[in-house]
Structure 1
Amino acid sequence: MKPAHVLKAENLYAGYEKKNVLQDVTITIPSNKISVIIGGNGCGKSTLLKTMARLIKPTSGQVLLDGKPLHQFPTKQLARVLGYLPQSPVVPEGITVADLVGRGRFPHHSFLKGWTAKDDEAISEAMEIMNISDLADCYLDELSGGQRQRVWIAMALAQQTDILFLDEPTTYLDITYQVEILDMLTDLNRKRGTTIVLVLHDINLSARYADYIFAFQKGKLVAEGTPSEVISSQLIKDVFGLDCTVIQDPVSLSPSIVPIGRHHNQLVKSW
């Protein structure tokens, strides 16, 4: 089981070019759980991940890891605890799957410590978890979108961090690959206790796979809790501007939204 690190933000303001996207956000990430951040486009989901991964410097407020400000950690030390996979990673030219996954071992190397058997084990294990061992010698640009995404996640897993941030890891993938990747991440969390934080667009998949949900609107945290505590027709209306009804997912028993389109709404009223 991974250590139960405490990662939190306090009164966080952050953004780009002197314009704050996040507005006074205070948030604590549940340790050893899967958390999902939801909200409309431009609400600050990705900005929050980048700020809590120390890729964006806060305008004010702070991010703390185990009570210590994030900026006080040496880069490699932080990278051994916290991993981050962006929305659209840049694919290096002419790189094989095994080589890319191996780049996840960078934080564990130093001038005095070169490549070890432990690195080989971590790479093999990460590829096995993501079911890409048979693709080790393939070039990344030869793979399908779903396969490529599994390789990127395997690279993050090879880093062997206790906390893993994934920004929209299922975007542009068909539903089969989405469920497959989320199942694999759930297995990782359940078996190792890795704290996983995801940004997802699909509300129903978010509710099915999350232990905890954070809902954002216009840079502010407007709701947090278990899926059953957060997902309601009113919240979906407030955050996404969507009329819906909420039912129980017959498989996971989590809340599931059913959108009510304008024409369907007229039919409902006519009944």
Structure 2
Amino acid sequence: MIEARGISRVHDGRTVLSLDRLALGGDGVTALLGHNGSGKSTLMQIIARQDRPDTGDITLEGAPLRALSTRQLARRVAYLPQRLPPVPGLTVRELVRLGRFPWRGALGRWRAGDHRAVDEAMEMTDVTGMSGLMADDASGGERQRAWIAMLLAQDAPLLLLDEPTAALDLAHAYEVMALLRRLARDAGRRVIVVLHDVNLAARHADRIVALKQGRLTYDGPPADFLTEPVLRDLYGLDMALLPGPSGGRHAVVA
């Protein structure tokens, strides 16, 4: 469990994040929602130790996050940034193999467990058949699955993904979110994912955390989030709720 206490972050004279107390990383999928600039990515970068808060503390399972070595952190938390870097010359399998670095280092000997972790990660994300494809040549959805496979090979119990569906079409976005849902349900991974799409979050998340101007405005189940007053307060728009397909959760339209 990740816990933030008294966290604040100021950028260019503006407070982009201010949280008294927030615990994340429980079972299932947690979706972080909010408008652009609401502090979602800043929070993820602080948890992944890609950024530092100006005030406050972050703990992981009760231990100060700053006290962990890079390798110790990578064995517990796997982070997928919003903008994926190019990996020229790497096949999908070679990309996924990078996930084993926290366990074996740059020159460590590959053991049976390392090979098994890579194979299982590729199978879970359905990228085994594109093992030899250059990762940068894969389609949007395939590329996201390959990077998620790398996170799984890292074998960290907590997965952080910053807008993994942002550059995907609707079909691929739902495909990626369904995959994250299966990983949480079947593989016991705890998933924290930044999203912009309210309907994706409502369909796949167990918990929604909403930020507005860097502050927490909602923390709870999707069913309670999907109300017109809550949505209007968060986004500043009048939003309507339509019945979901097959009697499922409501769909949101502006």
TM (normalized to structure 2)?
0.94
Which runs of structure 1 show a deviation greater than 6 angstroms over 4 or more consecutive aligned residues?
none
User: Could you tell me whether the CA contact under 8 Å between 2:121 and 2:153 is conserved in 1?
Assistant: yes
Unpaired runs of at least 5, structure 2:
none
What is the root-mean-square deviation of aligned Cα atoms in Å?
1.7
Aligned counterpart in structure 2 of residue 73 of structure 1, from 51, 68, 79: 68
Deviation at 1:252, TM superposition (A): 6.8
SS in 2 for 1:71: helix
Aligned residue in 2 for 1:100: 95
Equivalent-residue separation in structure 1 for 2:253 and 2:14 (angstroms): 35
Cα drift, residue 166 of structure 1: 0.4
Partner of 1:149: 144
Give the structure 2 partner of residue 269 of structure 1. Answer: none
User: C-alpha displacement at 1:21, in angstroms?
Assistant: 1.1
Q: Residue type of the partner of 1:120?
A: H
How many residues get paired? 254
CA distance in 1, matches of 2:240, 2:151: 37
State the shift of 1:200 in Å.
0.7
1:13/1:20 contact within 8 Å kept:
yes
Q: Is the 8 A contact 1:8 1:28 kept in 2?
A: yes
**Corresponding residue to 1:180 among 155, 175, 181:** 175
| Range moving further from structure 2, 232-241 or 203-212 | 232-241
1:169 to 164, 169, 172: 164
CA contact (8 A) 1:15 1:47 kept: no
Match of 1:239 among 218, 227, 234: 234
1:48 counterpart letter in structure 2: L
Q: Equivalent residue of 2:245, what SS?
A: coil
From 195, 201, 207, give the equivalent of 1:200: 195
> Counterpart of 2:173 in structure 1: which amino acid?
Q
Of structures 1 and 2, the larger Rg is shown by 1
The one-letter code sitting in structure 1 at the alignment partner of 2:208 is I
Deviation of 1:125 (Å): 0.9
Alignment check: 8 A CA contact 2:4 2:19 kept: no
The Cα shift of 1:240 comes to 1.3
Specify the alignment match of 2:26 in structure 1. 31
Deviation at 1:129, TM superposition (A): 1.0
Return the alpha-carbon distance in structure 2 between the equivalents of residues 225 and 193 of structure 1.
Answer: 20
Unaligned runs of 5+ in 1: 1-5, 260-271
Change (3 A) 1:111 1:104: closer
Matched, 1:229 2:224: yes
Question: Structure 1 252/133 Cα, relative in aligned 2: closer, same or farther at 3 Å?
Answer: farther
User: What percent identity do the matched residue pairs reach?
Assistant: 37
Q: CA deviation at 1:110?
A: 4.2
